[in-house]
Structure 1
Amino acid sequence: MANDRDVLPDNVKPTNYSISLFDLKPAEPWTYQGQVEIDLQVNKPTKSVTLNTHHLNLHSASITVESGKHGSSVKSNDISFDKKNQRCTISFDQELPQSKKATLSIAFDGTMNNHMAGFYRSKYKPPVEPAKGVAKDKDSHYMFSTQFESSDARRAFPCFDEPNLKATFDFEIEIPDDLSALSNMPEKETRKSKKDGHKIVSFDKSPVMSTYLLAWAFGDFEYVEDFTRRKYHGKALPVRVYTTRGLKDQGKLALESAHQIVDYFSEIFRIDYPLPKVDLLAVHEFSHGAMENWGLITYRTTAVLFDEYASDQKYRNRVVYVVAHELAHQWFGNLVTMDWWNELWLNEGFATWVGWYAVDYLHPDWNVWGQWVTEGMQTAFQLDSLRTSHPIEVPVRNALEVDQIFDHISYLKGSSVIRMLSSQLGVETFLKGVSDYLKAHQYGNAKTEDLWTALSKASGQDVTTFMDSWIRKIGFPVVTVAEEPGQISVKQSRFLSAGEVKPEEDETVWWIPMGLKTGPEATDAQREALTVKEDTYRDIDTTFYKLNTNQTGFYRTNLPPQRLIELSKSLDKLSVTDKIGLVGDAGAMAIAGHGTTTGLLSFLEAFPAEGNYLVWSEVLSSLGKVRRTFSSDEQVSEGLRQYALKLTTAAVEKIGWRFQPNDDYLTGQLRALLLSSAGLSGHKATVDEAQKRFQAFIDGDKTAIHPSLRSAVFKIAVKNGGKDAYKAVQHEYLNTTSVDGKEITLQSMGQVQTPELAREYLDWGFANVATQDLHSVGISLSNNGKTRETVWQYTKENWPMIRERMGGNMVVLDRFLKMCLQKFSSFELEKDIESFFKDKDNEGYDRGLAVVSDTIKGNAKYRERDMEVVREWLQARGYMK
């Protein structure tokens, strides 16, 4: 694998960076000056040093090489740039001898850009009077921070920007006297600058770490603080949540979670948290959800801030999980780092699983594994059921390719197979193996097989044999079941949402834990894992059985049609996760042609009395996919609306609008979900009440809508209230002080019902909405059958503007295209998209376009196959006139 990598030359290796940034311009042109001294080990004689730079100007470079008792300093006679590969080569007119210590000094300047990558600026509107030193323009104030993963440290300073070229870091920065600076380590000292009104803040030397984990930030910060309850080197560690001035109280939920999770992970990993402090920073503009910089974790505001009185309760869940995920990385990713980007899943898959594990520890009443199955696993299935998917461990030749694999395969499929393996080994044994792995490789780099070795030793089982096909092969299996009296036959094959798997695509034999329940009491029936293509399991009570108990296995089941009917009569014997899995599998089988949409719709008719939010979430998600696919036919679309209305009416009338003091988290979320679904399906009483509350809200009564019902009410109001309601929600976007208000209003405005209003929304969005949130504009319109095609037409007509606006950060552009274009079900539209991008430079989002193409083709095939069958079923059941 290493030979396939396009990496920096190995003639030198960094050991320490001393970085100094000064003369920062807090307005156009937003530049700064920098000096970096890199201590190097010269591995062999050389006349040049090659390292990474991107959008930097290098003014001068020199190197001092220690040789014996003396050192010699040599100035560079040439600095050349390879812009495509983001490298520069610093050449010298004499050969540098092999040496354990050399110091490369580089003077440079860079830009605090607005692309949410490298060292960048974030604009915001302060809720209170800010400090005088805050950068501002006529519209906004600014804070400054970094985002270096995967390969953007090179945008901030010249460096050896590869994960296995670890080093220590010393950092200092010159900032205005009344602002605060943060970095990975605690502040070492503050001294007065020669520049009037400024100071220089320096920080302690970091541990050995990868460049992508270095971080710094400065701005008008304040914080809330708590301390770990465990002692580390004899004292409790400070844990702080930093925000810009006026927002710190919204960091209390994250703070309460963070100090407990640091202690919990220290306990279960059997390694104490290794740094002297834990800082969490809310960043106003952020391309990702959060970033695990060691000791200074940065977050999108909605992933770390929460207002107990004004936030939608769903953000409580999000904040606790994202805090846990990033803290998991402090060990798994930071202390031990993947050797190369092909093993990104080692970081992300594990952090996702153990993040939810920690949330379950803190909030067992949330049933997070039910949430995981309906959100995480189903999303992973969706991407991995495409021909354009990729293995969990995917070859990455150049670090510039890696951003496109920060996707649902690395995160969600990766964590799904971790969950499957931990269930097989037992969680305690699994975590013991993880601890051994971390201890063996701490402060270094490791490969997937290193984890398997540790887990095999801890468990006494051959983990490599279990997991190799899951990690290195593309796709996942469907287990097709055939019944005979007293036994079932099972067959595994690769699952593709488009169906029609070719023989050459179906050569993998997965290790599949059966997880079988059977009999009147649904008792566990231990069976060996399926490790061949076909097998038979005997002594099965076929009056009731369920494969893949609690959905711990990452595979779909294709049951005989009659079995699905029988299971719909026995829902009381099924766990929440089992119900979710059956609904998800039934929907997937319909799409692939292994089952039917009518079978799915008949199965869903068993759920109106269901009382669990997570099950309803999967029911309505599966139904939503059907409604989107067939939305182009007005008659069928209306029939499915009537079906959705009937499905939800009893449940929404039972749960009502009022939040009771003893309502738990899941009950509140169920109320919001059912009101939204029923209202958008046209349930008259819900629509009338939503419009009444909306009018009171915009007339000034902010208590008229519960914070967790804003999304439902705003969407229903925009759908039914036309331009006036759309404008009122737009006004709320511009004036909201709620941390989640912008996300909620953007999603709601997409319920406009005409192409004209959709176009107006897109124009307004690209003129007024932060780049990080533009995908919310496109997605909300793409989910709407009345406006879906408008998004594509607008994209074509305005491509140069969109490319320019988002192209500074390909993660943002790739996400926009994938999420906005894959909802179509038309072969013609797929061809139009392919034709439009055919002559474009698609580097950075080509994988995304392939996913779009594959998804639309599958949707179109599904629509053509089942349209008339669905029409007949709806007519026969009285849903259509």
Structure 2
Amino acid sequence: MGKGFYISKHLAIAAVLLAAAALATIVALSIVYSKEKAKKSHQVSDGPTSRMPPTTPLSNEPWDKYRLPNTLKPQFYNISLWPRLSIDAKGMYVFTGSSGVAFTCEKETDLIIIHCHKLNLTLFDGRHAKLTGMQGATAPAIKKTWFQLETQYLVVQLKGRLKPGKAYWLYTEFRGELADDLQGFYRSEYEEDGVKKVVAITQMQATYARKAFPCFDEPAMKAIFHITLIHEPGTIALSNSRDVDTESLQMDGIDVIKTVFEPTKTMSTYLVAFVVSDFTYTSKQTDSKDVMVRIWARQKAIGEGQGDYALSITQPILKFFEKYYSTNYPLSKSDQIALPDFNAGAMENWGLVTYRETSLLYDPKTSANGNKQRIVIVVSHELAHMWFGNLVTLKWWNDLWLNEGFASYVEYLGADYAEPTWNIKDQIILYDIYRAFAVDSLVSSHPLSCKEEEVNKPAEISQMFNTISYSKGAAVLRMLSEFLTEPIFAKGLSTYLNQFAYGNSVYSDLWDHLQKAVEKTPHLKLPHRVHDIMNRWILQMGFPVVTIDTQTGNVSQKHFLLEPNSVVERPSEFNYEWFIPIKWMKKGVEQDQLWLLQKSAVHKPMKVSRGDWVLANTNVSGYYRVNYDPENWERLLKQLSSNHQVIPLINRAQILDDAFNLARASIINITLALRTTKYLSLEREYIPWEAALRNLNSLFLLFDRSEVYGPMQAYLRKQVKPLFDHFASVTENWATVPPGHNDQFSQIIALSLACKTGVQGCRELTKTWFRQWMQDPNNNEIHPNLRSTVYCYAIATGGVEEWDFTWKMFKKATVAAEAVKLRAALSCTREPWLLNRFLEYTLDPNKIRKQDATSTIGAIASNVVGQPLAWNFVRARWEYLFKEYGVGSFSFSSLISDITSRFCTTFELNQLKQFQMDNADVGFGSGTQALHQAVEKTKAKIKWLEENKKQVLQWFISQSA
């Protein structure tokens, strides 16, 4: 699955910290809780829950356990479904269907236990299913059937016993609601040319196939699927495989179309997909050997060419992965479809990949450079899964990281092949490695892989779809590829995929194949086997900080924690030591790689003479941070200020990010970290500026309600003005955009940070552009790259007129990327009543789509005025929000993180604990881990502020003088 969804990269920059003048309002609002709940007598721990306890079964009966027994194995399904795209007599959207599953008996049993959730099954002689024997087997009679709601099973108890090696057929007929809950088989509604339209869509990952048809809904229970869809004339039906027969007929007196699809490959239930819509497509098949590629979307979107960019990159990315894996694409077609309502960013259904519109559709007139990059990254991620995840699938969800971490790494390789001039591979440090560091530095983090028994319930499975699985998984696999070298890594992948094709595996199977590739490469010498090196990175949480003393050559490692005095309750058989590959340079010259294999060791080459400097973790190839002795830090700072380009671009970002995080952990002084930003007045490159901005925004979140804000703003105004002036010059005073891909991102930073810090002329520029658009709504001449910033600051400095105009444009927008910019900009207003109104809109799907509700609340929380309003809103309505949007939703982790991002006082910590206690009976779903992390981060920030606030204020004052 894609990495979820978020507003455009630079939108947070523009949306944060808009009004120091609003401080009085914030203070007053921050103590309001509109529907304060009574305190409950029971207590909820606010400490870390990094160790997920094994799930306690409800009883010892097999139907009370969350894992299927190992008695039956599915072979194939025959599924027929008929979604109704109009309301029935009871005012509901429904689907009807039938499903038969052929299975073999592995162990003698008198029970059939199969997943089934929220389906009304037809009774046959008082039973919910029919059972017959296959291939000469005799089926015992059914004694009774019932639903086990907690474990989501249909239980079929037999009068006799099924025999090992024999095959049987279980048949059901059912009716389900085609709800708008974004799970299982659901509906999406949208308007086109004033006409309301309905689409029937699926989202089966992780445990929602059981909502569409009874099935053995575990990833290792692979089978072949024969799918038939019944749909009304004027619509098309899509599924994982090609359609082989279509006929018009009547059913129940209604004219319908029956579309039959060829049997799928052997695959997991979570990858099954079907769509019924009136969409159209654009396609490409250059010759008979090529896979048929089609991009599907709303008719108007395809007509406007919004699918053309995705179409142009899909075939090259498929070819890249075929070569990379040394394995042909397993299917005959690749359909990709953009959906108006979709909870995730995208989903890798085999042969029918589903996307949010923003992740697949691109309009050159209104989509920004970042939108284009988002599409190539997400498409590459999903297509990587066609082999790694779909062809070979994890055995159980405890190893989700292997699927998602791998796709999150190689997505950059596929995207780089499709867009070779973008240098996109370097961005992994910004969008994966640094994201992983932020979470993995907490004691409430968790290892990449855990025991199977720790992940059982659907809520526990949904919690695995997190930053650790995706971003840390990508980071450690990239490190592995770096020290093996990419050709050897790819060779091991190829043999792994060939051995386990159409089957399931565990992470150690991959280690086996990579080790074999190493052993066949005589020149590659590793200090230990792949298993021994990598198990330390995936079986224990966290990562090390490597400290290098250039005076002695001593190199040491220590578990890096945001709060160094935290107690790590999760034991590790490796005692939080890692085998660390260290690539490094001396005064700009690459040196031979070293390995740190114990707590500390002396590496004499790292002892340097006066004037030389050492830089470790070149290319940020390793998953660790680096600290140095004070003298080496000073030499690095001197190099940055004298000739920063001697230090590689990606490592300039590393110096900034490592320094700020070392300071957060009280390992170095905060003033040293702040000094790394002084050279930024000379910097023009995107990646170092983005790294700096993220860390500075973290400081803004701490200080935008205090006296530090003014001097900090004044300092940054001085630092960004040369960048602002540079782009004003090279773009003819903002009339054009620079041609370079990353230069365009730098231009966005220049405008956004200049407006935020009050560089003369910036806010006036955005107000002028926006006012010109308001005067001629049909002629928006603001460049798409700059719209997020312009919209936000125009609304922030405007009033209700600007807000209402933007809302009107948002409701009229036909390009999803433009709608996202407008929706996020609405959160930038300083008017509390407008923000409260906007919050209320998130409860109305006619105003804000369900898929966008939590991200909208999060955007409002990023506004210094909106944060207390969003916090109070969520607290007062948690039970409703959770039941309506949060059960099984991966987005609730981001929501909790967003609404608590400014928490740094004891008062806020107590509110957070009370919120945790008040809603213990409701639950937090995928946000459970995020809630514990919020408590931990708030505690760490309280302590850090006590120790550092005064010197931060003094430093900024000294620099602004």
Are the equivalent residues in 2 in contact too, given 1:394–1:472 (CA < 8 A)? yes
Residues 83-105 of structure 1: CA distance to partner in whole angstroms, max 9, x if unpaired?
11111201233333334321100
Shift of 1:339: 0.8
CA distance in 2, matches of 1:561, 1:791: 43
Residues 824-876 of structure 1: CA distance to partner in whole angstroms, max 9, x if unpaired?
22232122122122142315232221122122222222222211111111222
Tell me, what secondary structure is at the counterpart of 2:795?
Answer: helix
CA distance in 2, matches of 1:601, 1:648: 15
1:490 is matched with 555
Higher RCO by CA contacts (8 Å cutoff, separation 6 or greater): 2
Tell me, yes or no, if structure 1 residue 595 matches structure 2 residue 668. yes
Shift of 1:645: 1.3
Residues 101-156 of structure 1: CA distance to partner in whole angstroms, max 9, x if unpaired?
21100111111121111001112222x587xxxxxxxxx42211100111110111
Moved more, 441-450 or 573-582: 573-582
User: In the alignment, which of 32, 48, 51 is matched to residue 111 of structure 2?
Assistant: 48
Tell me, what secondary structure is at the counterpart of 2:542?
Answer: coil
1:753 is matched with 830
Number of residues paired by the alignment?
859
Pick closer, same or farther for the CA change 1:561–1:761 going to 2, 3 Å: farther
Tell me, what secondary structure is at the counterpart of 2:293?
Answer: strand
Are the equivalent residues in 2 in contact too, given 1:13–1:42 (CA < 8 A)? yes
Residues 350-407 of structure 1: CA distance to partner in whole angstroms, max 9, x if unpaired?
1111110111222232222331112211111001111111101133431511111111
CA distance in 2, matches of 1:70, 1:319: 52
Residue 91 of structure 1 aligns with an amino acid whose one-letter code is: Q
User: In the alignment, which of 68, 72, 77 is matched to residue 17 of structure 1?
Assistant: 77
Tell me, yes or no, if structure 1 residue 59 matches structure 2 residue 122. yes
CA distance in 2, matches of 1:45, 1:587: 61
Tell me, what secondary structure is at the counterpart of 1:714?
Answer: helix
Are the equivalent residues in 2 in contact too, given 1:118–1:152 (CA < 8 A)? yes
Are the equivalent residues in 2 in contact too, given 1:76–1:90 (CA < 8 A)? yes
User: In the alignment, which of 546, 569, 577 is matched to residue 509 of structure 1?
Assistant: 577
Tell me, yes or no, if structure 1 residue 878 matches structure 2 residue 960. yes
Tell me, yes or no, if structure 1 residue 794 matches structure 2 residue 852. no
CA distance in 2, matches of 1:3, 1:700: 61
1:609 is matched with 682
CA distance in 2, matches of 1:343, 1:172: 32
1:135 is matched with none
Tell me, what secondary structure is at the counterpart of 2:377?
Answer: helix
Tell me, yes or no, if structure 1 residue 457 matches structure 2 residue 520. no
Tell me, yes or no, if structure 1 residue 568 matches structure 2 residue 568. no
Shift of 1:778: 2.1
Tell me, what secondary structure is at the counterpart of 2:241?
Answer: coil
CA distance in 2, matches of 1:655, 1:25: 51
Moved more, 265-274 or 18-27: 18-27
CA distance in 2, matches of 1:712, 1:227: 40
2:812 is matched with 735
Tell me, yes or no, if structure 1 residue 383 matches structure 2 residue 459. no
Unaligned runs of at least 5 residues, structure 1: 131-139
1:712 is matched with 789
1:398 is matched with 456
Shift of 1:803: 2.7
CA distance in 1, matches of 2:279, 2:568: 59
CA distance in 1, matches of 2:66, 2:887: 23
Residues 696-738 of structure 1: CA distance to partner in whole angstroms, max 9, x if unpaired?
0111153431111110101111221133322222222112222
Shift of 1:814: 3.6
Are the equivalent residues in 2 in contact too, given 1:495–1:501 (CA < 8 A)? no
Tell me, yes or no, if structure 1 residue 685 matches structure 2 residue 761. yes
1:838 is matched with 917
1:858 is matched with 940
Tell me, what secondary structure is at the counterpart of 1:255?
Answer: helix
Tell me, what secondary structure is at the counterpart of 2:688?
Answer: helix
Residues 164-191 of structure 1: CA distance to partner in whole angstroms, max 9, x if unpaired?
0100000011101110000000001112
Tell me, what secondary structure is at the counterpart of 1:450?
Answer: helix
CA distance in 2, matches of 1:285, 1:775: 13
TM-score under structure 2 length normalisation: 0.86
Residue 179 of structure 2 aligns with an amino acid whose one-letter code is: N
Tell me, what secondary structure is at the counterpart of 1:36?
Answer: strand
Residue 288 of structure 1 aligns with an amino acid whose one-letter code is: A
Shift of 1:659: 5.5
User: In the alignment, which of 533, 548, 553 is matched to residue 466 of structure 1?
Assistant: 533
Are the equivalent residues in 2 in contact too, given 1:569–1:606 (CA < 8 A)? no
Residue 832 of structure 1 aligns with an amino acid whose one-letter code is: Q
Shift of 1:64: 4.3
Are the equivalent residues in 2 in contact too, given 1:775–1:819 (CA < 8 A)? no
Tell me, what secondary structure is at the counterpart of 2:342?
Answer: coil
CA distance in 1, matches of 2:214, 2:478: 39
CA distance in 2, matches of 1:359, 1:326: 11
Tell me, yes or no, if structure 1 residue 36 matches structure 2 residue 99. yes
Shift of 1:685: 0.4
Pick closer, same or farther for the CA change 1:640–1:704 going to 2, 3 Å: same
Unaligned runs of at least 5 residues, structure 2: 1-51, 56-64, 520-525
CA distance in 1, matches of 2:137, 2:130: 10
Tell me, yes or no, if structure 1 residue 422 matches structure 2 residue 498. no
Tell me, what secondary structure is at the counterpart of 1:78?
Answer: strand
CA distance in 2, matches of 1:59, 1:76: 15
Are the equivalent residues in 2 in contact too, given 1:673–1:712 (CA < 8 A)? no
2:894 is matched with 815
Tell me, yes or no, if structure 1 residue 624 matches structure 2 residue 697. yes
Tell me, yes or no, if structure 1 residue 475 matches structure 2 residue 529. no
Shift of 1:197: 2.6
CA distance in 2, matches of 1:808, 1:113: 14
2:300 is matched with 246
User: In the alignment, which of 171, 185, 203 is matched to residue 261 of structure 2?
Assistant: 203
Tell me, yes or no, if structure 1 residue 774 matches structure 2 residue 843. no
CA distance in 2, matches of 1:817, 1:503: 23
Moved more, 495-504 or 533-542: 495-504
CA distance in 1, matches of 2:909, 2:151: 32
Residues 494-541 of structure 1: CA distance to partner in whole angstroms, max 9, x if unpaired?
11112225587793110111111003xx11111421110011221333
Shift of 1:613: 1.3
1:137 is matched with none
Are the equivalent residues in 1 in contact too, given 2:583–2:594 (CA < 8 A)? no
1:433 is matched with 492
User: In the alignment, which of 84, 98, 122 is matched to residue 188 of structure 2?
Assistant: 122
1:136 is matched with none
Residues 281-301 of structure 1: CA distance to partner in whole angstroms, max 9, x if unpaired?
111111111000000000011
